[in-house]
Amino acid sequence: MAEGGEVSMAEYNKFMAEGQTFEQGSNYAQAVECYTQALEAISVGGVLQDDIGKHCYCMRSRCYLKIGQHDEALQDAESALNMDKDLITGIYAKAEALYFKGDFEFALLFYHIGNQMRPDMKKFKLGIQKAREAIDNAIGSTKKCTLTTEGDLTMFHQGLEATAGKKRVGGQRRKGTARNRSARPGPQTNDKTVKQLLGELYADRAYLESLVNDPSLRLGQGGDIKTLAASGLQYLDKRTEFWRQQKPIYVREQERKEQKGRISTRTSRMATAGKPKKRPVTQEAKTKAQSDLERALQAYRSMRPDKCIEACEDVLRVIKSPETRDEREIVGLAHSLKGASLYAKENYQEALKEHTMDLDVSVEDRYRMRALCQIARCNAIIGELREAASAWVQAAGMQIGDLTAAWLHHELGRCYLELGDVNEALDSALAGLDAAELAESREWTLYLTILKAQAQEQNNQRTEAYHTFKAAAELAGDLYKRDLKNALLKAAQDAQHANPDAIQEERESHMDLSAQDGGGDGNDDADGYSDDGDDDDDDGGDGDGDGEGDGEDDGDAQDQGAGDA
């Protein structure tokens, strides 16, 4: 709890940073403690005083799942949703907690809710898939079971009549039996089933069970050891029950049979296959290609494009038809470096061909995204904005981090803005803002807010553009970008002066504030900002609110998002 009944944001930020460090190091118990202290730092009397705590609840929920405390994880997720019912990380945290508790139906519901809100986030689609598989495994498949009314059903009808008679005559006795049955523990899983479910963990369970039953641990420190062993044993039993519901034994056996069948088919195909038509790349040739590729990297970093192109061509002469994953990575990087060097020489068409070949040969998503982003850059600079937008859309649909997603949506929105598709540009800005919030990047929040304001202005939403430019100017001030702040304030004034309704709204707002404060001197400007002569933007701002007046270069973000060589 905050000392003296005051909220300490400094303490909150400190504990949040420590918690994230522990979480990245897989020290989840320490991370839970740090997140708890962070929540206490912004709480007074056990009540949170700032909505920023909702993000801390989601992070602590994620750590609780890692240490097997599913009830606490669910409680934290619900606390975050109570503060913001549309918080996407809270919805995902609740879906995950319900899934690991074994409530697959409710987990499926929240996965669907998250997927409807953010269809671009693949983890909701994966959640829907795994929840459906768990439900199918738990109830079994009905495809192989068909009930008919054919044949002699006399015994079936006699059994129904006998059951009905017992219910009428012995109702009181059956009620007592049901009560006794509910008091008994659930069905016990036999040792063979437990061994199949736990796999390698079965030996650990047997060791913990021997510690719990060891009579020599009753004295001294033995009580603490037995307590820890019992806690570990209880955790393994919970995991066993969860895995039994998620994927029963009969499903595992069926999958094992199918896997054996696939192995047998593949083995027979390999045995009957003829000799390979192409000779594989020798280890000596692969070593030479790697040496040439390192030479190309050094030339590229030292900004010698001709030397880089020469080294890349040496690589491509050694490995002409890549077959293995390693060979594809080497050839793909060679095409990427050659394309980047051609781009530096302003040979954009040839650069585009090289990046297209990089896309064709690459297998992993990170390398394909690298190629797509470079293809988009080449298309954008030669004026093929539709092709550039298409490449960025493909890259944004891959499994990427939140920070990379923020950059991609910004680039895509700028492209749509140049094409005049303001609605698509506005949608890209909003999606990028969500990603920037998840990544907790105020820098990209600023740039995407500027993009949103420009899209609103081009869409003749002058009032909304005015308020968005002011919000961006405030954020630029918080980030100590004075040039950009002045440019954004000028853009807000331009949007306001183009819309008389916004001027009247601002004037009425200031009149209301003056009345509450006991009146004013009547010299305030209509837009709420005094004219101090700085509107000329003498620090280098261009006044168009495009985020370029501060001299910041987005190239670092491009390198980070695209995996630029």
Final residue of a structural domain among 508, 530, 553: 508
Question: What pLDDT, on the 0 to 100 scale, is given for residue 275?
Answer: 46
Structural element, H or E, at residue 374: helix 365-381
88 and 32 in a common domain: yes
Q: Would you say residue 87 lies in a domain?
A: yes
| Confidence (pTM) | 0.41
Q: Would you say residue 257 lies in a domain?
A: no
411 and 372 in a common domain: no
* Nearest alpha carbon to residue 204 among 240, 251, 172: 240
Q: Give the max Cα distance, the chain.
A: 100
Q: Would you say residue 283 lies in a domain?
A: no
Separation of alpha carbons 173 and 216, rounded Å: 46
* Nearest alpha carbon to residue 68 among 40, 103, 90, 96: 96
79 and 34 in a common domain: yes
126 and 14 in a common domain: yes
Final residue of a structural domain among 375, 392, 409: 392
47: three-class secondary structure by DSSP: strand
425 and 376 in a common domain: no
* Nearest alpha carbon to residue 408 among 438, 370, 460, 373: 373
Q: Would you say residue 152 lies in a domain?
A: no
Which residues have CB under 8 Å from 406's CB, separation 6+? 432, 433, 435, 436, 439, 441, 444, 448
Final residue of a structural domain among 476, 491, 508: 508
Q: Would you say residue 98 lies in a domain?
A: yes
Separation of alpha carbons 336 and 293, rounded Å: 11
Q: Would you say residue 186 lies in a domain?
A: no
341 and 242 in a common domain: no
Domain count of the fold of the chain: 4
Question: What pLDDT, on the 0 to 100 scale, is given for residue 181?
Answer: 38
CATH of the domain at 100: 1.25.40.10
Separation of alpha carbons 508 and 514, rounded Å: 10
The conformation of residue 323, written as its DSSP 8-state character, comes to -
Query: Between the CA atoms of 216, 222, 226 and 229, what dihedral angle is there, to the nearest 10 degrees?
Result: -100
Residue 533 backbone zone (phi > 0: left; psi -120 to 50: alpha; other: beta): left
461 and 346 in a common domain: no
Query: Strands 43-44 and 47-48, how do they pair?
Result: antiparallel
Which residues have CB under 8 Å from 133's CB, separation 6+? 247
The parent domain of residue 482 ranges over: 401-508
Question: What pLDDT, on the 0 to 100 scale, is given for residue 335?
Answer: 92
232 and 114 in a common domain: no
User: How many C-beta atoms surround the C-beta of residue 152 within 10 A?
Assistant: 6
133 and 110 in a common domain: yes
Question: What pLDDT, on the 0 to 100 scale, is given for residue 277?
Answer: 52
pLDDT in tens, the chain (565 residues): 555 556 678 888 899 999 999 999 889 999 999 999 998 888 876 677 677 888 899 999 999 988 888 889 999 999 999 999 999 999 999 999 998 888 888 889 999 999 999 998 888 988 898 888 878 776 665 554 555 666 666 655 665 566 555 544 444 444 444 334 333 344 445 566 676 666 677 777 777 777 777 776 654 554 577 777 777 777 777 766 666 565 555 555 655 666 666 666 666 565 555 444 556 778 888 888 888 889 999 999 999 999 999 999 998 888 888 888 888 888 999 999 999 999 999 999 999 999 999 998 888 888 888 899 999 989 989 888 888 888 888 888 887 888 888 888 899 899 998 888 989 999 989 998 998 889 889 999 999 999 999 999 888 888 898 999 999 999 999 888 889 989 999 988 888 777 655 555 555 554 554 444 444 443 333 333 333 434 434 333 343 444 343 433 343 444 434 343 3
CATH of the domain at 406: 1.25.40
Q: Would you say residue 151 lies in a domain?
A: no
Q: Would you say residue 521 lies in a domain?
A: no
Question: What pLDDT, on the 0 to 100 scale, is given for residue 553?
Answer: 39
* Residue 6 CA: distances (Å) to CA of 44, 51, 79, 382, 412: 7, 15, 22, 57, 43
96 and 27 in a common domain: yes
Question: What pLDDT, on the 0 to 100 scale, is given for residue 141?
Answer: 56
358 and 428 in a common domain: no
414 and 478 in a common domain: yes
Contact 341, 314 (CB under 8 A): no
Retrieve residue 120's tokens: 């671009």
